[in-house]
Structure 1
């Protein structure tokens, strides 16, 4: 018996292996998607300083909300802020209450919204196209440049895109199977979108779906759904209370600030200098869908068969409406196109096996990785030639791109080239692997470096002022993240007074007159006006 026991064990192992292998194969796509989501949305989420003016503005408005105990009206550096509705501030306030005043807490609601957005894409694509395409659509979304950047920002756009996707998916379900629950659920998502970013949450679903329904002879069904009283009651119950409360508090200032300035005026003309030509969004869409730009180009001929099937019609109408509407808008910002990017994830996933050209597939990711490798050298070369002292000082910093950063960039490029040149291997799996490489290059290298260049010195200066408990004002420098890191409202100065401490840019220093520089780094200056 003892001699046969090892043979029995081997036999049992052989019997178990096929089942274990099948279970592993079944779980592999989910594990791959989980890895993509973690890398794209949550890896080092709280590492880089608050990025750009928008992250700082949202975060400071949330901090002041908690400080004031006012959960209806938002303020920024002591001034009323009517830029966006309230929902994202509530979510950020909850996150900050749980995790403290830090970058991770401010960004977590966006990352979770990005997770929900990807999950919604997976569920819808799986139901419409099958299991494999469902995972492919979700993986494309999770490793695409545009989604990764938007969903890592302490702003409202990831949350809005989640609600837009949920709305449009239920509107399509209602097109093919007119059940009341789909219609009512769509109004619920619209209400939450209206509470996140305003009228765009109504405009995109109504207009895009109206065109798609009309093309398939379902205009009457669309009209009945749009004028459904129950739906509007749901929408009003979700979004109405805050809008009413805010109007009762602030009156016409709310109408003028939110609806007129930040909605109507944005469309009528360039707001805050954010203008562009009519074809502004052509290069934007190519960049946002990196590293899958070649797959997008292979998918575009589907436009010639716009009415071939209801789902393709619906998805193309969704994208094209957003693309054309914001092309006509006076104010142009790259993230506006994200409102119509979700249908492209599904269309590209459904056409992934048709991409037969290795050069079309791998030229975009290899170029992106090559640009990452060249970035430190390019900035160092460009800095001395810049006329603006602030940007010259910012880009001249050599401490941001260390040896490990450069080594990692080169390794990613070599890995990308190996995937591109790998003979006799299917294109789609290699392209997806390139997506992981590019995702790490962006979230692990480029974004931290860019945030450090732009906001690292701001954070240092704020912490210096906070530790010394010094009063400070800003001079011709819009940098709300300074108030977040200082954890105090920082008012702008209109006139300079002897003895006060001023935060400004290096290109504004000469215009201040004689001043004692207390701190200077990367174009950010703390200076004291002499007595």
Structure 2
């Protein structure tokens, strides 16, 4: 076997050409491991918790409207136009609802499949560019990174955008590579790649909008400029490719524009979607202002969390990149081209959202590129582990850091378990939280800051699993690394992360009663089924629809909104055909107790307001995590009495 030297570039040719690596035998094993990890981490988590309030159920409501009305053009939530999002994710959800019914599994399966396909794309791309081990590392890194798991708990389009954008970039690179070196190994005929590129790019635009064009063309233009490969532009089939792109991406945009005119100030879809949701959002002037921007230090440092545990090996990327900085533009190999394109693309995404308004998950599209670079650097460092003291020291430092973090986490969890050993288990963890304006949080992990001592009793099982994983896994991985059993060491880290993510999902289920209002929707259905309330009762939500968006989904009906003409409901409510579902405080007080029975959902954050408006003139039907259901009159048939339905 040829011993790697320090002059070997980070983006080296396939090591399989110089090492007797039985890829034909190991490839099925690698795919089996990747698929098994996906089943355990992502597929198994599709069944619980139920759909969550806010974005999760809001998006599901839009897809449900598509199924029930057959309107695949105009998104609507609770009967109101929802024009800020591209349509493809909702089409996928609508298909899933048709197949599996209206439930959380159906709502989230497209996203889970997207994660699997993203991991397989990373595996395939890295295996083609580098070697079998790097491909395997890329796949398991994607499946076990904390951010990939965290940001797929609700149905947002980032993983699908990542899949389509990275597919387009891969096809872009394959097109150029096959032109320069036609003998390069290829899965499909060369003519397939440019058209697959334009198709994937069109799907990316249908997933997230114009930002897909910014990222793709930004990365492609910088790449072509640095490599001086402008003369290859004809191989990308720009004329016929653009026609294909428009044939896929343009029809929905055109139809949505034609069908949605005459909104606020005469604006329609075109202004709201393209100007307001793209340009004004980037500038921080979007209307209405219901978004956030992370401080710079958090924006950058939190990527150590989102890419954990693999971010611990990020210094290896810097070491290898610095050593080979003069060779990075040597694009005679597919591996060198891949490394350069990943670096450009990841940097573009990160810099773009550091300037724009942002949420933590906005940089998700860069994860595959970043994790691939870490996988390449780690595999390279493993290959020169004995000869290169600097790489060896940095890997040792990464393991030491991981072990310290693991022991600290295990100790903290063990202390929490010991402190709560005599406390009773309370299934509704929301009753035990500190409740600091929970509904106003915009950060994905904000709820964990509300954990109290008693609430830890509800998390005993996931805490025990996580403590066990952190106490043992990092130490075993370090020991295996010292024995130079590199594959086993890296796989142990992945398995440790897998156990932690399983524990995290169990904890996530414990938060279900607080994050979802499905149980209150079930209470309404139960009262309807036993005749305690009429099925014609008016259901009202107090505040923005996001506070209880799972209620209209699970009830399958439009609800009235009191003081809810805001955020995602605001622009759509200005169209002349918008249903009259918006009530003011005065309307609520005037209509309460008259006409049809009223059932009012009140989030914790609005309880004081409702108490001032209605006083004691309300009857409590159910309460969970501070959220409550009130009605305006006694039940028709109180629960527990005999009656003929």
Is the alpha carbon distance of 1:455 and 1:326 closer, same or farther for their aligned partners in structure 2, counting shifts above 3 Å? farther
Deviation at 1:256, TM superposition (A): 2.2
1:320 aligns with 2:352: no
Q: What is the TM-score when the length of structure 2 is the normalising length? A: 0.72
Which residue is equivalent to 2:521? 462
Deviations 1:121-155 (A, max 9, x none): 11111111122221121111111122233445323
Cα shift at 1:411:
2.0
Contact 1:505 1:523 in 2 (8 A): yes
Alignment partner, residue 520 of structure 1: 623
Match 2:396 to one of 354, 358, 366: 358
- As a proportion of its length, which structure holds more helix? 1
* 1:294-305 equivalence runs, <5 A: 294-304=312-322, 305=325
SS at match of 2:517: helix
- Structure 2 residue corresponding to 1:260, chosen from 275, 282, 288: 275
Match of 2:606 among 508, 520, 526: 508
The answer on 1:334 being equivalent to 2:360 is: yes
1:307 paired residue among 305, 317, 329: 329
Alignment partner, residue 13 of structure 1: none
- Aligned residues of 1:111 and 1:151 also touching (Cα < 8 A): yes
User: What is the alpha-carbon root mean square deviation over aligned residues?
Assistant: 3.2
Q: Would you say 1:481 and 2:543 are equivalent positions?
A: no
> In terms of mean alpha carbon deviation, does 121-130 or 388-397 score higher?
388-397
CA 1:369/1:461 → structure 2, altered by over 3 Å: closer, same or farther? farther
Q: 1:296 to 1:22 in 2, by over 3 A?
A: closer
1:249 partnered with 2:259:
yes
Give 1:80 deviation, angstroms: 0.4
- Residue in 2 that maps onto 1:472: 539
Q: Secondary structure at the match of 2:46?
A: coil
Residue 236 (structure 1) aligns with: 246
Equivalent residues of 1:163, 1:190 under 8 A apart? yes
Aligned residues: 508
Q: Name the structure 1 match of 2:83.
A: 82
Cα displacement (A) at 1:170 = 1.0
Q: Which residue of 2 aligns with 1:210?
A: 221
User: TM-score if structure 1 supplies the norm length?
Assistant: 0.86
Q: Distance in 2 between matches of 1:506 and 1:139?
A: 40
| Equivalent residues of 2:76, 2:82 under 8 A apart | yes
Deviation of 1:488 (Å): 1.9
Segment drifting more, 385-394 vs 185-194: 385-394
State the SS of the aligned residue for 1:340. Answer: helix
Q: Does 1:121 align with 2:122?
A: yes
Q: Deviations over 1:44-85 (max 9, x none)?
A: 312122245221111111112222221211101111011222
Task: After TM superposition, give the deviation of residue 367 of structure 1 in Å.
Answer: 2.9
Structure 1 residues 244 and 406: alpha-carbon distance in aligned structure 2, compared to 1, 3 A threshold: same
Displacement of 1:249: 0.7
Q: Any conservation in 2 of the 1:280–1:327 contact (CA below 8 Å)?
A: no
**What is the 5 A alignment of 1:48-447?**
48-51=49-52, 53-178=54-179, 180-222=191-233, 228-251=238-261, 252-269=267-284, 271-304=289-322, 305=325, 306-307=328-329, 309-329=336-356, 331-353=357-379, 354=381, 356=392, 357-361=395-399, 363-364=401-402, 367=405, 371=409, 374=412, 377=416, 387-388=436-437, 395=451, 398=455, 401-420=458-477, 422=479, 424-425=482-483, 426-442=485-501, 444-447=502-505
Deviation at 1:94, TM superposition (A): 1.1
Q: Distance in 1 between matches of 2:242 and 2:411?
A: 52
1:399-446: CA deviation from partner (whole Å, max 9, x where unpaired)? 87254333323222233244245363335532332222223322x222
Structure 1 residues 526, 124: CA separation in 2 closer, same or farther (over 3 Å shift)? same
Give distance in 1, aligned partners of 2:411 and 2:276: 41
How far 1:208 moved relative to its partner?
Answer: 0.9
Moved more, 464-473 or 240-249: 464-473
Residues 229, 518 of structure 1: alpha-carbon distance in 2 compared, 3 angstrom cutoff? same
Task: Please list the CA deviations of residues 83-115 of structure 1 after superposition, one character each: whole Å capped at 9, or x if unmatched.
Answer: 222111111111111111111110011111211
The whole-number CA distance in structure 2 between the counterparts of 1:153 and 1:362 is: 34
Equivalent in the alignment of 2:423: none
* CA displacement, residues 137-187 of structure 1 (integer Å, 9 cap, x when unaligned): 111111112223344532322211110110011111223233553222211
User: Which residue of structure 2 lines up, in the alignment, with residue 16 of structure 1?
Assistant: none
Distance 1:402 1:137, change over 3 A: closer
- Verify the 8 A CA contact 1:72 1:245 in the aligned structure 2: yes
| 2: CA distance, partners of 1:358 / 1:463 | 53
Shift of 1:386: 5.7
Q: CA deviation at 1:313?
A: 1.7
